[in-house]
Structure 1
Amino acid sequence: MAEEEDGHTKDPVPDVVGDGKRRFRVERTRHLGSGHFGDVYEGVQLSTGKPVAVKLEHRSGSIARKEWEVMRALSGEGAPNVYYTGVAGRYYVMVMDLLGPTLQKILETRPSRRLPWDVVSKIGQLCVHLLRTVHSKGYVHGDVKPENFLCAYEEGVPPYQADPTKGLYMIDLGLASKYRDSSRPNGHIAYGQRIDHFSGTVRYASLNAHLGRWLSRRDDMESLCYMLLYLHNGSLPWQGFCGDDKNMLVCEHKGKLPPDEICKGAPECMQYFLAYVRSMKFEEEPDYEYLLMLLDPTKGLVEIHRLLAEDRAIGDVSSANGALEAEDNVNNSVYDLAASGKRKRNDLDNGSQFAPNAKKHRIVIPKRYKTHQWMIVSTSAKTGNASPATQCYTSHTSYQNLVKEVEKKWSTGMRIVLLSFTAGMWTAVLNQKSTGYQEQALHYCPGADFPREWVRQKWDEGFFITALAGNATSWGVVCSTMTRNKRYKQQSYIVSPTFPSKWVADKWASGYYITSVATQGNPPHQQWAVVVSRGAPYTDQVVELDFVYPSDVIHTRWDDNYMVTCIASTSEMNAFVMSRGLTFGEEQRCTRTSHGPLHKVREDWNDNLYVTALAWGRVA
């Protein structure tokens, strides 16, 4: 008889699967659990009576064959042995070793719903070895969580008596992906990202997964960190979010919390674990030995403190905290520790090829302070089409003074191309030539409500939004009429409490591109405004979100001929809009400074670079 699930008819579970001597009875009343894409039942091999697990995935799915491929590559190393893969009715079937309870089930049997650190640290070490095995086969697990790590099967042993420190196995590899690519010089897949892409489980996903980036080895290790914290503390700080924005809300919470808050209640070594895995580059191989050392209660933090103390005694390090507070060092402090001492790397971009070994580890000291700076993007147009004959940067302590100066510049033919109301300043950048803007209107709107009626009126008059700004208490909007050859065909916008990734992706699919973006408000009530336009001079566009300045990502995009066309930042998150088109030059520079932007802007002008994007945001 067909079963009912969520109001839909479900195909009946087969009684027997397999062929020839490999035939297995499915114990349909012994449902072991459900994964992302299938159900698992207890079964028995008919010829031997051996207990097995039978995983069924409906053939409308596309994950089963991918999981079979990974399981075959592992050949029972760190994962259950597979005895049969095939098809039964409308199901894909995989028969494998019957295993014991999951880590999640074990946790649920504990009255405190917590595991002691001596147990968690051993689990962590076992998981590092398991993930190292998966990585050695060229795959990323992609869904590290307590439900996907199981104990060995022991007949008659209930979950509350199971000992996870005796050994663990990985399951549910349907989300695993290849990170190796033999066609590329470094043997690693190319960096990729799609703003509406997500893979994994929200609770344990890495920041990169939330931000739509292709997964690599670093992401398995970050998810492992969250899993271990969950097992020890019984919960994670971002549990409880719900609704359509759950993914982004969890992402924002993970990104804004420093390591000491995320790891609260756990040994300090976990802060070093998290700081290290978050500092890894896309193609970087994890230093498994370093992570194992951190998880070893007899070494861990003691060993780190010993190595740092030795360096201080030599005179190479005066103060770890001092390194963190230096203005120019906006990343986590990074040290290569070895018997011969330390080499400090301020620029993590140079560390992607560093190959750690048993005698040298890259230690990342957890950062306890956030750094905010101006980010100034300047562009050179070799063709001259986008280069203004003159550019003006004007910044004031009041909106009234800004308006007076802007009106003077308008009278000389200059037009606003950028607007910024952040860091206590009211700033505009105006160009003399080739903006494509004719008449302009600047509107100030106090309060959190976006000036919808004013914008609608301007649209009716033939204007388009060409610049946006926001601060804690107001919005600023510039609307312009445009020359015929540069006029937008249509425009739309959204105001959202989180970055509207899905909305943007849908608009891209309809031929729109982001032409303005801004943020407004104070935490926790900040909001994004994103303007998209048809007829913008772009052929492709991406949005890179991050909680720091993503130097390696920006350079990768530059190498792919993308240019930064907009930036906006909340107090925690940055959005870099990067576009490909026909009107941009061959050179772009992104400068960061803690002081007012003008001195950097002048340096760029001297190099024939013109400001194209500006924001005050978190860089570390």
Structure 2
Amino acid sequence: MVSDDPPTLTEIKDEKGILKYSIQQRLGEGGYGRVYAGTDTNNNKVAVKFEPKNKCTYGTPYEWEVYSALEKDGKTKLNEILYKCSSKEDYIMVMDMLESINVDKKPSLEEVYRFAREAIKIFQNLHQAGYIHGDVKLGNFLSKPHSENSTTFFDDLFLVDFGLASRWKDNSTGRHVEYSQHPTKFRGTLTYASVHALLGRTASRRDDMISLLYTLIELLEENKDKYFRRNKDKLGSCNDKMKMNLGFLPTKLKEFAKNVTELKFDEEPNYDKWIREFQSNHNDSPYVTSNPCKKVGKTRWITVVNTRYPMKQRYHFEIQNEKMLHCIFNKGIQEKLYISSAVFYNDTWALIMDENKSFTEQELGYEAINSEDSKSSIKNGNFYITALIKKANSTADGQIDGNVNDITEVKADDNADGKADDKAGDKATNKDDGKSDDKIDDTKWQIVKSKGTTYTHQVCQIVDSYTDLYQKIYQLWKLGHFVTSLTATGKKWAFVMSRDAEFSAQVIEYDVCFPAEGILRRWKQGYMVTAMAASTTDNLTEMAVVMSVLKTNKAVNELQEIFISDGEEFPSKKLKECWFKRKYVTSFCYATVSFGEEEYPKHLSSKE
């Protein structure tokens, strides 16, 4: 966008004071600098980029370093750097003048494919040099100046603005950089960024390719807001992209979309294949301009099991009211079974109860949780919170209880072969659907407190977003606390962090659906799943998986597996199968696992 704002500097002179360039109107501005049009002493057009010194923490701009490395490599096609210098306030870089891509006229499919070929060639050379761009978008693709009679929308493609570039390959070892995730960190452009980038995952080659996909879609689509609503937040952009139905794309572009969105973190894109595929649009399906419906999320049960010595374990699900829940709880306590995991879903409860060797007592009830004071601690007679369930405002609260004899359950006994008792039913049922006048304070949360834990101090808090959640957790990690319980109700997240938990390190994998790849990578790094929670509000889905390194790496905990149900029904049959193999539930969750017809993994193992 051209601006009439005057430059702070109108002339650039060399060390001897001889005029080299004159600076004219502003062409554009970004987060890291501003670009002006200019001319040299022969009246040739140039572009002049100013980058404030106060934004360059370590001296000259990082972009200069990237350009120097790429120029030395000599393979990546770069806009020629003509001159570098500095003023009192800015670092200044003078470049050949390039033009924006001409999109006044909608390009043909053939022209879009030509654009794709040229862009992929640039990425291939850039990536081979060990770099990724990090901010691929239409505005960062420029062309040599068009001739007067040119009818194409670009003549010679260039990728510019390497201010957000990073290395995907370690400079010293030559290996791929390590996978990590920091959800609060994002640099780039929401509209074009991959879901991985938006979620704060370490950047890799796939991110440039996915951003190119969104750029190609934008070139094809006249009504750009139809698929690219200018979201102001990362969560909305992630959900839009995951739900985007790509059935409207031409066949080759549809295949490209499937390929690049399925790339693994450290997988090399098949550049040569796609350069060949985009060589022609012969026999390709046409572009459909009608607005396709969005993909619908699939919600399933996610169950985490660990191989352990034989133990008693029992599950209950579809518990329909508050007092029935307490009947089940009290009956379990009488048999020395304690709640180890609980989920509130579709206005019903599901519980896992087992014989926890460390617990001596347990309580189930409601307690106010301070949402303001991040240093509030929850402690009562050596009882500590071991499960957060839900906020006390559900329609299931306060309903009349059924008789304890109406309750059916399935359990795994502690016999040598791990067989489960044969029961007629798996659901908790209630014959009386009358209502009670009891009301519960909706500022309180339903919690489970246990005596016999290793904890010495706890912090419990409620936050309004996952970003706030991660920031609070990150602060408490530094103080020696670890997440021991996590839940989400609507837009609210609630967490408990405990000091002297049996963990030595902890991370969180966050996604808009089940984060399978992140879990697999964390397993390889020695982490185990220790808590999960999911949220769906206003058609926006989120899931967080807490993974921890155990202080004592006992053999019984070395194998961890995750099973995802085929349908939405509680996986009672699968749990029974696991018990026979001495695999016991350590965490479970009801969450979105994929969107549309996309496949989702039915089974993951830490030994894969």
TM-score by length of 1: 0.73
* 1:562 and 2:527 matched: yes
CA shift at 1:376, angstroms? 1.1
Task: Determine which structure has more spread, i.e. the larger CA radius of gyration.
Answer: 2
Q: Letter of the aligned partner of 1:219 in structure 2?
A: D
CA shift at 1:588, angstroms? 1.7
Q: State how 1:535-550 maps to structure 2 within 5 Å.
A: 535=499, 537=501, 538-550=503-515
Query: Could you say if the C-alpha distance between residues 394 and 514 of structure 1 is closer, same or farther in structure 2, counting changes exceeding 3 Å?
Result: same
Q: Return the alpha-carbon distance in structure 2 between the equivalents of residues 293 and 470 of structure 1.
A: 54
* Greater RCO, CA 8 A, separation 6+: 2
Two-structure CA RMSD over aligned residues (Å): 3.8
CA contact (8 A) 1:121 1:297 kept: yes
Query: Aligned match of 2:33 in 28, 38, 43?
Result: 38
Deviations 1:495-521 (A, max 9, x none): 44888444544554565433322334x
* 1:239 and 2:239 matched: no
What SS does structure 2 have at the residue aligned with 1:16?
A: strand
Task: Show the counterpart of 1:58.
Answer: 52
Identity of aligned residues (%): 27
CA contact (8 A) 1:26 1:41 kept: no
Q: Return the alpha-carbon distance in structure 2 between the equivalents of residues 403 and 444 of structure 1.
A: 16
Q: Letter of the aligned partner of 2:301 in structure 1?
A: W
Query: Could you say if the C-alpha distance between residues 270 and 555 of structure 1 is closer, same or farther in structure 2, counting changes exceeding 3 Å?
Result: same
CA contact (8 A) 2:132 2:205 kept: yes
Task: Show the counterpart of 2:238.
Answer: 251
Task: Show the counterpart of 2:95.
Answer: 96
* 1:394 and 2:316 matched: yes
* 1:613 and 2:587 matched: yes
CA shift at 1:137, angstroms? 1.6
What SS does structure 2 have at the residue aligned with 1:591?
A: strand
What SS does structure 2 have at the residue aligned with 1:489?
A: strand
CA shift at 1:553, angstroms? 2.1
Query: Aligned match of 1:275 in 252, 255, 258?
Result: 258
Q: Return the alpha-carbon distance in structure 2 between the equivalents of residues 119 and 162 of structure 1.
A: 11
Query: Could you say if the C-alpha distance between residues 215 and 548 of structure 1 is closer, same or farther in structure 2, counting changes exceeding 3 Å?
Result: same
Query: Aligned match of 1:13 in 5, 9, 22?
Result: 9
Deviations 1:120-178 (A, max 9, x none): 333222222222221122111110111101111358x69xx784332111111111111
Q: Return the alpha-carbon distance in structure 1 between the equivalents of residues 376 and 51 of structure 2.
A: 54
* 1:145 and 2:137 matched: yes
Q: Letter of the aligned partner of 2:494 in structure 1?
A: V
Q: Letter of the aligned partner of 2:585 in structure 1?
A: V
Query: Could you say if the C-alpha distance between residues 499 and 178 of structure 1 is closer, same or farther in structure 2, counting changes exceeding 3 Å?
Result: same
Task: Show the counterpart of 1:73.
Answer: 69
What SS does structure 1 have at the residue aligned with 2:457?
A: coil
Query: Could you say if the C-alpha distance between residues 553 and 442 of structure 1 is closer, same or farther in structure 2, counting changes exceeding 3 Å?
Result: same
CA shift at 1:528, angstroms? 4.3
Q: Return the alpha-carbon distance in structure 2 between the equivalents of residues 559 and 419 of structure 1.
A: 27
CA shift at 1:204, angstroms? 0.5
Q: State how 1:338-349 maps to structure 2 within 5 Å.
A: none
Task: Show the counterpart of 1:318.
Answer: none
CA shift at 1:560, angstroms? 1.2
Q: Name structure 2 gaps, 5 residues minimum.
A: 287-293, 398-444, 595-608
Task: Show the counterpart of 1:193.
Answer: 181
Query: Could you say if the C-alpha distance between residues 188 and 438 of structure 1 is closer, same or farther in structure 2, counting changes exceeding 3 Å?
Result: same
Task: Show the counterpart of 2:400.
Answer: none
Deviations 1:97-137 (A, max 9, x none): 1112x23xx33x45xxx544343333222222222221122
* 1:592 and 2:564 matched: yes
Higher helix share: 1
Q: Return the alpha-carbon distance in structure 2 between the equivalents of residues 22 and 140 of structure 1.
A: 38
Query: Could you say if the C-alpha distance between residues 293 and 539 of structure 1 is closer, same or farther in structure 2, counting changes exceeding 3 Å?
Result: same
CA contact (8 A) 2:384 2:455 kept: no
Query: Could you say if the C-alpha distance between residues 238 and 411 of structure 1 is closer, same or farther in structure 2, counting changes exceeding 3 Å?
Result: farther
Query: Could you say if the C-alpha distance between residues 197 and 118 of structure 1 is closer, same or farther in structure 2, counting changes exceeding 3 Å?
Result: same
Query: Aligned match of 2:333 in 407, 410, 418?
Result: 410
CA shift at 1:278, angstroms? 0.9
CA contact (8 A) 2:113 2:280 kept: yes
* 1:580 and 2:549 matched: yes
CA contact (8 A) 1:543 1:577 kept: yes
Q: Name structure 1 gaps, 5 residues minimum.
A: 304-366, 382-386, 521-525
CA contact (8 A) 1:546 1:574 kept: yes
What SS does structure 2 have at the residue aligned with 1:212?
A: coil
Q: Return the alpha-carbon distance in structure 1 between the equivalents of residues 162 and 371 of structure 2.
A: 48
Q: Return the alpha-carbon distance in structure 2 between the equivalents of residues 478 and 23 of structure 1.
A: 73
CA contact (8 A) 2:464 2:491 kept: yes
* 1:378 and 2:305 matched: yes
Q: Return the alpha-carbon distance in structure 1 between the equivalents of residues 273 and 468 of structure 2.
A: 36
CA contact (8 A) 1:465 1:531 kept: no
